[in-house]
Chain A
Amino acid sequence: MIALTELLPLSDTLTPADQAELTQIVREAYVDATPIYPIGGGTSLDFGLAPRDAGLGLAMRGLKRVIDYPARDMTITVEAGITIDALAASLAKERQWLPIDLPNAHQATLGGVIATNTYGARRYGNGTMRDYVIGIAAVDGRGSMFHGGGRVVKNVAGYDFCKLLTGSLGTLGVITQVTLKVKPRPECSRFVACRVRNLQAADRLLESMVTTRTMPAAVELLIGPAWQNDAALGQLPAGEIGVVVVGFEGTEPEVAWMVSTLFNQWHRLGGNPVAVPDDQTEGLWTRLAQFPVEGSAALVIKASLRPSRTQNFIAGILQIDPSCDIQSHAGNGNVIARLSQFGSGGISNLLVGALQPAAVEHDGKVIVLSYNQPSELTRQAVWGSTGDAGSIMEEIKRRFDPKNLLNRGRFAYAG
């Protein structure tokens, strides 16, 4: 892990103990016009554009309490600096969970995950953070604390700040407290995997997921050296491009039925499915979650496309870097690629000239998750276009953070 100071130009770092102290710090920073960099677990401070102006680090690790956990209501209210593992441990006591896969869960914080709207393979069956945050409190760029939503699972009073703040990279407010909707933990979990010779074969299997009678939790397509010798998936023979992996969760009889149904379904399509051994299931979930942050790739990108077009997009990436590692949340049309080589045209050229047009062609977009030369990155390369609604986003930013102090210059706003 790179040292904090290399990632952020910090003049100082403060660690408030509670929301009141945090509010006070932001208020003073507003008066002095000091830029502020919220810091959660520090696992992805390189996500987004590199900050240029020196400012104050606002470490969230002091705000980590569980405020209220009425398990029978399936909601929990916590402070935003709680780590994902600590949150999971609280929920596990009541056999509940937040079914979103996250890398570095021992370190990553809930606030950071919401600010970046991170998700993983279980998105197919469970959705994203956006679907789980039902109440939120944040401190805006002027040091004013505001709330949205509440503590009940159904609520349409007022504008939905939960949605607006999710994925805003801390640029509208420092998230201080969150109420989540949570779910019962499924009894059992199992994977079916099927190797494929080429992308067409993968597409046939994936297309069959549209009419399957099963209800998968995850539908993944895995390609590249990272998956060639996976403990759960076995050795991928030469001549096969990758493996389609489907995860099921539920009660024992449900999962058993779904596994055998998918087996039959894929057999009929000429595939040769295998079941991942039970003792490898947990490990595979973890590797699926960790994929975006593992390895030493120069560049990690994430594309969101129409599911039917993901294979075309992947073919394009494989032309650029035949040995790149790919994890596609194929059922959702997401592609995460770790590239180690991408020609000499420079990062902007690669993204703006090749990958973004390819994504747009499939009604999607592509963003940079990380790049080993962050200072080379441009806004257009990292975030692509915000479309014709960009001016509204800038107007919102201006009204929540008039001095542009929060994560200045790092997000998708122009100017």
Chain B
Amino acid sequence: MSAATLPNLVDELRGVVGFDGVLAAHADLVVYECDGFVIEKNCPDVVVFPRTSQQVADIVRLANKHGVPFVPRGAGTSLAGGCLPVGGGVMIVLTRMKAIEEINLRDRYAIVQPGVVNAWLNQALKGTGYHYAPDPSSQGACTIGGNVATNSGGPHTLKYGVTVNHVLGVEAVLPDGRIVQVGGPTEDSAGLDLVGAIVGSEGTLAIVTKAWVRLTRDPEGCRTMLGVYDSVDDASNTISEIIGAGIIPAALEMMDQGILVAVEQAFNFGFPLDAQAILLIEVDGVEAGLDAQRDRIIELCKKCGAREVRQAKDAAERLLLWKCRKQAFGAVGRLSPSYCTQDGVVPRTKLPHISRRIREIGEKYSVRIVNVFHAGDGNIHPILLFDERDPEQIMRVLAASTEILDECINCGGSVTGEHGIGVEKIGFMHKMFTIEDIDAMERLRMAFNPDGRLSPCKMLPTAGACGMEQNGKPHEKAIVQIRPGRRAAL
């Protein structure tokens, strides 16, 4: 943005949201230079905090008027760089839109503003017999708007599905500043499924300003088990066996020894530190069937070589187990100054294979890798440990990451199960999709976002995706502002 337009824009934005709704001082802006993906950084020119949909629309109109890009942001926990303000411009932070507008149990939905933190909704639902099912591990911080934009999943995805399976409708501000509602409190919307298009579009099609989300009945009961294994293969085989037996657990999570040690140091659960892998298995539903399912699962674990199978003895122990799992990433800080979490997916039956390959790749590049998997979905999160002060290590980590994700593609999988493409994985899009596929995606984006000002240079690798053309020329700033040395991370 030119030095001349910025002051005008800032003044006009203050006119929309008030003085306290705008940040323009460099020291304040630095906070917003990246999200959970820290390899690429860029400061927005201005950060705005709207309180209403109309304010979002007005902000978008102003950005258009001044010809600058704009990018929505929730809590900034994205791990793929979705919030990176490529080309600078206006960052629209939705955290002040945090009202739960309605909870309707009879019709099984809630209406929430985008800045509502995932866990708040479930706190509000406590005691009603209902909950909101998508439960990303970041749920204590991330917003429902961010969940909708990234189509978040969590440990309970296996049985309950991802965010898109729980969103009935959204109100959104289009890149031209119009406010539209697609879907709503009833289940089928008219015409094309634009809800399905917007959910998971990583903030590149529209800015979500409200969501109608499906509420799910709390299961009557659950059984939570911990299978302890001397080999990762045995643990992986158990997963296939359980599912092959026709049981769909509510969750099926795997942690390997490396991560166990870190988690144990952090939470003192009492994990056996010499185990090579543990499986956290939960089944839920009506009480009547649960003991039988538990017994069957224990039998299958043993058959596959589990050393022991423990059961959470009470609700407190179950909660602690889940805390260990959900905060596993945090615990990794104890192992290494820096780490990089990957998010590949393989068909469930390929888990033993990919586990082996990860081990080999780690050895090949001399990178220590610990693993925590949403194993029931085949969604793997290898965590590569390194010291970011050593550029040579970074190169090896990047090379190892690429090789792991390439292997996921070779197995018929995906390079992202829940974190998204963002800026991080743009380089893989051509490996997963044909030119025609990407062209079709481009056309979908153009239908919503023809000027490309909403969140440019994300998700699609084609030049046009940057959409930063001005007067027919590519927007130079888009390229210049990204630190060249860091592009290696792509």
Chain A residues in the interface with B (C-beta under 8 A) = 70-75, 95, 117, 127, 130-131, 140, 144-148, 150-164, 166-168, 172, 183-185, 207, 210-211, 213-215, 250-251, 253-254, 256-258, 304-308, 332-334, 362-365, 367, 383-390, 392-393, 395-400, 411-413
Contact = CB atoms under 8 A, between A and B. Distances in A.
A156 B150 contact: yes
Contact of A213 (B157, B174, B196, B220): B220
A156 B418 contact: yes
A127 B165 contact: yes
20 contacts: A70-B347, A72-B243, A144-B436, A147-B433, A150-B414, A152-B412, A154-B414, A155-B413, A156-B150, A156-B151, A157-B432, A214-B286, A215-B286, A254-B285, A304-B186, A333-B107, A333-B187, A395-B447, A396-B443, A399-B444
Contact of B190 (A158, A307, A385): A385
Contact of B421 (A74, A157, A332, A397): A157
Contact of B197 (A117, A164, A365): A164
A214 B285 CA distance: 9
B304 interface: no
A401 B287 CA distance: 52
B303 interface: no
Nearest 6 Cβ contacts at the A-B interface: A163-B196, A257-B288, A184-B246, A254-B289, A146-B440, A386-B191
B398 interface: no
Nearest to B377: A154
Contacts of B292: 251, 253
B333 interface: no
Interface residues of B, number: 91
B416 A156 contact: yes
A366 to B, nearest CB: 10
B196 A150 contact: no
A161 B442 CA distance: 12
Interface in B423-469: 425, 428-429, 432-434, 436-441, 443-448, 459-460
A365 B288 contact: no
A209 to B, nearest CB: 10
Contacts of A412: 190-192
B374 interface: yes
B50 interface: no
B246 A159 contact: no
Contacts of A257: 286-289
Contacts of B347: 70, 73, 75, 151-152
Given A155-B417, A158-B459, A211 B129 contact: yes
Interface stretch (B40-48, B88-96, B177-185, B224-232): B177-185
Contact of A70 (B190, B345, B349, B414): B349
Given A156-B420, A158-B433, A389-B182, A167 B192 contact: yes
B486 interface: no
Contacts of A413: 191
Given A157-B432, A160-B200, A166-B193, 20 more contacts: A73-B348, A95-B246, A127-B165, A146-B436, A147-B433, A147-B434, A147-B437, A152-B378, A158-B441, A158-B459, A167-B192, A172-B192, A207-B106, A215-B285, A306-B185, A363-B185, A387-B182, A392-B174, A395-B447, A412-B191
Contacts of A74: 243, 348
Nearest to B129: A211
B74 interface: no
Contacts of B348: 72-74, 153
A80 to B, nearest CB: 17
B306 interface: no
Contacts of B287: 257
Given A258-B286, A363-B184, A386 B162 contact: no
B186 A365 contact: yes
B314 interface: no
Given A150-B413, A158-B459, A254-B285, A167 B193 contact: yes
Contacts of A150: 412-414, 432
A144 B197 contact: no
Given A159-B200, A213-B286, A307-B107, A154 B345 contact: yes
Contacts of B187: 304, 332-334
A385 B182 CA distance: 12
Contacts of A307: 106-108
Contacts of A155: 345, 413-414, 416-417
A210 B191 contact: no
Contacts of A130: 193, 196
B349 A387 contact: no
A211 B128 CA distance: 9
Contacts, number: 251
A168 to B, nearest CB: 6
Residue among B180, B187, B429 having the largest count of chain A Cβ atoms under 10 Å: B187
B249 to A, nearest CB: 12
Contacts of B345: 152, 154-155
Contacts of B286: 213-215, 250, 254, 257-258
B446 A399 contact: yes
Contacts of A140: 440
A155 B180 CA distance: 27
B39 interface: no
B213 to A, nearest CB: 15
Contacts of A184: 246-248
B201 A159 contact: yes
Nearest to B179: A388
A164 B196 contact: yes
A363 B186 contact: yes
Given A154-B418, A213-B286, A392-B448, A163 B193 contact: yes
B29 to A, nearest CB: 29
A154 B157 contact: yes
Contact of A73 (B150, B349, B433, B446): B349
A166 B187 CA distance: 14
Contacts of A213: 220, 286
Contacts of B184: 363
B447 A396 contact: yes
B444 A396 contact: yes
Nearest to B174: A392
Contacts of A168: 192-193
Contacts of B107: 306-308, 333
Contacts of B178: 388
B259 interface: no
Residue among A155, A156, A163, A393 having the largest count of chain B Cβ atoms under 10 Å: A156
Given A387-B190, A412-B190, A160 B197 contact: yes
A155 to B, nearest CB: 4
Interface string B312-349: 00000000000000000000000000000000011111
Nearest to A183: B248
A386 B448 contact: no
A395 B195 CA distance: 16
A176 B295 CA distance: 43
B20 interface: no
A333 B212 CA distance: 15
Contact of B440 (A161, A334, A383): A161
B164 A157 contact: no
B106 to A, nearest CB: 5
A365 B441 CA distance: 29
A236 B181 CA distance: 43
B180 A388 contact: yes
B392 interface: no
